[in-house]
Amino acid sequence: MCRKSPDACSRSSVAISFCSMNSNTTADPGLKLGDSVLSSRLLVGTGKFSSIDAMLDAVRASRSQLVTVALRRFNREQDAGDDLYGPLSEIEGINLMPNTSGARTADEAVRAALLSRELSGSPFVKVEIHPNPHHLMPDSIETYEACKQLVKEGMTVLPYMPADPVLAKRLEDVGCAAVMPLGAAIGSGGGLQTRAMLEIIIRDANVPVIVDAGLRSPAEAAMAIEMGCDAVLVNSAIAVAEEPSLMAKAFADAVETGMLARRAGLMSRGEAAIPTSPLLSFLSGE
């Protein structure tokens, strides 16, 4: 499958031919993360929901196969209350991805990740280190150090990161299964504010690129997929919607539509108008 965005394809006729040929003839191979291949390209978070029941309904409606959960929400000994492990583990086809939210250093993130693997049995971990509560931006240095250690531990590591092309390559080089650059600040609904940097990351990446944080609408999710991202992770936009399960379905449909459009081959952009029908000489009296 061609991973180039429509803009990238329009730069040369060779690129256009390559993208069109591959996108029309190759079936979607799915989202490969480590040893797992997922048919859904929508990852969902479990925070901010008004109730566990609302969250579970949204997860089912999202058709997601990978759900991220904060470590503090794992409690196998607890039947109710704040535990999410039990309820989520009962949904067929769901893989849990513990995250290290709340960690401020690489050491804290590594400890949290190893504990979460023991509790959940999941090989996945979302490395999330944002020490400043005022802007919640990920710490690039601590994230890199934590990922190096966790890859050596044999985990399937997905780092939440700034939209930094240099960091993305370094995380890929140490063995991360994907990179997860932000579209905008966590919970901001700012959309794809980092689009220019995302395009560079997509162009150079040899692992999946997953937009994590900032998406507000299903249209933005479709746009991310169309431009070449392999998946999106959405939490706040679903959780705070008036009808979370309906919004989850909307995001699921949008992601699938975005991939279908990308496989079909979007037209290239142009600066001048081009007629859709030939200009016939008899209309001008010639």
- What residues are labeled active site? 126
54 DSSP 8-state letter: H
Contacts of 34 by beta carbon, 8 Å cutoff, 6+ apart: 123, 124, 156, 177
Contacts of 101 by beta carbon, 8 Å cutoff, 6+ apart: 70, 71, 128, 130
Pair 92, 63: CB distance under 8 Å: no
Pair 8, 15: CB distance under 8 Å: yes
> Percent helix, strand and coil across the chain, each rounded to 5?
40, 15, 45
Q: 77: exposed, middle or buried (C-beta count within 10 Å: 0-12, 13-18, 19+)?
A: exposed
C-alpha 165 chain-centroid distance: 16
Q: Work out the angle at residue 236's Cα, subtended by the Cα atoms of residues 68 and 200, and round it to the nearest 5 degrees.
A: 75
179 DSSP 8-state letter: B
Pair 178, 230: CB distance under 8 Å: yes
